[in-house]
Amino acid sequence: MSINRVTHITVYVTDQDEALAWYQEKLGFEVCMDNDEVVSGMRWLTVCPAGNAATQFVLMLVREESDKSRVGTNLMTVLSSTDCISDMARLAREGVDIVGPPEEVPWGLSGVIRDLYGNPYNLVGPG
């Protein structure tokens, strides 16, 4: 096998502009790609942690009523932080849903948040 990394994680959204604002304002992500030329008739919008385009989050607009059940159902995604405590405190001040405040775990510090659609993210960092 020659698989060596994850490049894209799909996050289903009901409003791409709203999702984009949340990921930029709350998580500090930046736009990697925003166009309608990748797939005809569809806006291809990806964001990533600032300076790290190697892993992109596809903010995928649900197009069919039957697909709306996908919104907010992602499994836990782990995000690395160099300062988990400060990041979690800032997110709390900004009204982000804190599921579990940062606590010491065997691998360092860990806290859990939810995005605007309810998808869980585990922020982990050194202890």
Per CATH, the number for 1-68 is 3.10.180.10
The mean pLDDT values, 10 residues at a time, for the chain of 127 residues are 94 98 98 89 95 96 92 97 97 97 96 98 95
Mention the CATH class of domain 72-127. alpha beta
Distances (CA, A) of 72 to 1, 12, 75: 32, 7, 9
- pTM, full prediction: 0.93
Digit-coded pLDDT (tens) for 18-29: 999 999 999 999
**Tokens found for residue 85:** 């405590």
pLDDT of amino acid 94: 96
72-127: same fold as 1-68? no
Q: What is the residue extent of each domain of the chain? A: 1-68, 72-127
Q: DSSP code of 66?
A: G
pLDDT of amino acid 12: 98
CA dist 7 and 50 (Å) reads 15
Kindly give, in sequence order, each residue whose CB lies less than 8 Å from that of residue 75, ignoring residues fewer than 6 positions away. Answer: 120
Digit-coded pLDDT (tens) for 101-110: 999 999 999 9
